[in-house]
Amino acid sequence: MRANPLHPNPGVHAEPTAERTVILGRFGAAPAAGSEPTGASSFRALGENALPQITVDYRVAGEIKKGVADRLAQEIKSSGRMGLESQAQRGRALINEAVAVWSDAIAVERGASTTKAEDTALAAAVYDMLFRAGRLQPYLDDERVENILINGYDDVWLDYGDSHRVRAAPVAESDEELQDMLRDLARRNGQSERTLSTADPFLALRLADGSRLQAVTGVTPKTFVTIRRHRVKDVDLAGMVQLGAIDETLAAFLSAAVRAEKNIMITGEQAVGKTSLLRALLKEIDPDERFATIETEFELFAHTNNFHRQVVPMESRESNGERGSDGRGAGEITLLDLIHRALRMSLSRVVVGEVRGQEIVAMMQAMTNGKGGNLCTIHARRPEIVFDRIAELYLLAQANMTEQLAYRQAANGLDFIVFVSMRDETRIEGKRHRFVSHVLEVTGMGENGRPATNRIFAPAPGEPRAVPHMHPACLEDLVRVGFPGHLLDNPRGSWQRPLDLRVMAG
């Protein structure tokens, strides 16, 4: 039997190509020219674009996976104790053995040996099914993919970060198999309390790479899954400059605002880059400063970024489906619960990944009563409606909350609102551009009973990205932590050239 080293991380793309090598099913005949076996998926390793694509027959991979899983389960049971890393190592060895047996059988059947690429592709597929995300894994390994959209097991689409959406290979043989894969992912990622069934048709998960998965079934004609990838995970403000989201002037300003312990709310529509910017702002907090991150699913990664040493990460938890006498789900821990606990831990700051419910009240109270330097994100379509969005969440939180109270606490608690925009020109052969367009300074209550603001950064004619408009009222505080105030005197900021848009307004 030939050696068959298993590559644990193939990193592949599903792209159609005329030149293709097909991995046959053990008992299957060779497919007709131009056809593929049922359950096959195209496959090309990163950095190997010159090689022919490999098509994995997932029926074969499933058979091998089942046999290896049974053998591995027996060995785990007989050993009494085997850690996850040891299980993965032993699993690799068993997979290699099984693939070698399959390879020899296929060689006899078709009169020619399989290639090393075929064996490696099949072994990698089996490993992914047993220890990783199965047929989803190649898409998770592709750093260009931003969103994975599954409209039923055989209708899969990939959103690429700054450009197009393409159709991809199926991720299962049926909706039932897709649901089984989702349940396996929940168990594999230590979230076994989260299930997917007729009684509980919704599933929210954080995958091993930090991606956010949301699935729904039962109330839809087929299983729908959305996976949001974090393409920009380990980023600082310099990295945001390189991405074109901000210029060096705004980077220096935001850095000073964090160091001066200003309360900052990042806002914008969904998927414009709010979380990425928040991650970058966290890098401006001293590594030894003790603060909490509060999230529905961990997405800020402050506790794993090898930069901060005093982070208290908190993650909310869904209920187990049962309801107590107070109407709350048993075992449920909300963002509001976490914020209240965090405020009792003598932390210097509280950072909320996304404020979208009644936790807005506790967040505003922390900003009003605390030391300062708190950060959060919130959804809003335009910068001028942020306060109405805050008031809306206040009114939904408790019966005794009022719009006036929401405005007053926002005026007293917030220092800056940073609005992130996106220009999507993919439908006219362009790209997606994400950038900060506005920075508003909150200066207290205005005469109309709403918070008053100064537009410190805003778009200019021919430039939709944020450029300096005026000095903030708190400029001395920023200068005191090292901000060069004269940078705000350049009306074009430090952009070297206009944004490359196909359609420019104004």
Whole-model pTM above 0.95?
Answer: no
Same domain, 104 and 143: no
Last residue of a domain, one of 189, 216, 231: 231
The CA distance from 272 to 110, in Å, is 52
Q: Nearest 5°: CA angle at 400, between 395 and 404?
A: 60
Structural domain contains residue 399: yes
pLDDT at 434 over 50: yes
Looking at per-residue pLDDT, the higher value among 503 and 262 belongs to 262
CATH classification at residue 369: 3.40.50.300
Same domain, 202 and 266: no
Residue-level pLDDT at 387: 96
Half-sphere exposure of residue 413: CA atoms within 13 angstroms, side-chain side: 23
Structural domain contains residue 495: no
DSSP summary character for residue 488: G
Mean pLDDT of 475-496: 96
The CA distance from 441 to 439, in Å, is 7
Same domain, 101 and 6: yes
The CA distance from 68 to 89, in Å, is 12
DSSP summary character for residue 266: E
Q: What are phi and psi of 356, to 5 degrees?
A: -145, 15
Structural domain contains residue 98: yes
Structural domain contains residue 324: no
pLDDT in tens, 323-332: 666 665 677 8
Residue-level pLDDT at 428: 87
Mean pLDDT of 229-235: 81
The CA distance from 458 to 437, in Å, is 6
pLDDT at 61 over 80: yes
Q: Is 454 in contact with 472 (CB distance < 8 Å)?
A: yes
Residue-level pLDDT at 321: 60
Residue-level pLDDT at 4: 37
Structural domain contains residue 374: yes
Same domain, 368 and 468: yes
Last residue of a domain, one of 231, 254, 280: 231
Query: What is the band of 426 on the pLDDT scale with cuts at 50, 70, 90?
Result: confident
Same domain, 344 and 457: yes
Structural domain contains residue 323: no
Last residue of a domain, one of 97, 131, 165: 131
What the block records as the tokens of 471 is 């000095």
Of the listed ranges 188-202, 228-242, 333-347, 350-364, the one predicted with least confidence: 188-202
The CA distance from 201 to 194, in Å, is 10
Query: What is the band of 230 on the pLDDT scale with cuts at 50, 70, 90?
Result: confident
The CA distance from 391 to 408, in Å, is 10
Same domain, 396 and 431: yes
User: DSSP of 108-134, one letter per residue?
Assistant: HHHTSPPPHHHHHHHHHHHHHHHHS-G
Residue-level pLDDT at 502: 87
Looking at per-residue pLDDT, the higher value among 6 and 361 belongs to 361
What the block records as the tokens of 476 is 């001395």
DSSP summary character for residue 323: B
pLDDT at 462 over 60: yes
Same domain, 359 and 431: yes
Nearest to residue 43, comparing CAs of 174, 164, 142, 148?
142
Query: What is the band of 14 on the pLDDT scale with cuts at 50, 70, 90?
Result: very low
Q: pLDDT averaged over the chain?
A: 85
Same domain, 280 and 403: yes
pLDDT at 238 over 90: yes
Share of the chain above pLDDT 90, in %: 59
Structural domain contains residue 321: no
Residue-level pLDDT at 324: 60
pLDDT at 54 over 80: no
**Separation of first and last alpha carbons in the chain:** 69
Structural domain contains residue 505: no
| Enclosing domain of residue 215 | 134-231
State the total domains in the chain.
3
CATH classification at residue 155: 3.30.450.90
Same domain, 141 and 10: no
Looking at per-residue pLDDT, the higher value among 410 and 33 belongs to 410
Query: What is the band of 52 on the pLDDT scale with cuts at 50, 70, 90?
Result: very low
Same domain, 388 and 276: yes
Query: What is the band of 322 on the pLDDT scale with cuts at 50, 70, 90?
Result: low
Residue-level pLDDT at 370: 72
What the block records as the tokens of 306 is 């090898």
Residue-level pLDDT at 506: 55
Contacts of 304 (CB under 8 A, 6+ apart): none
What the block records as the tokens of 93 is 């060895």
Same domain, 218 and 303: no
Same domain, 375 and 469: yes
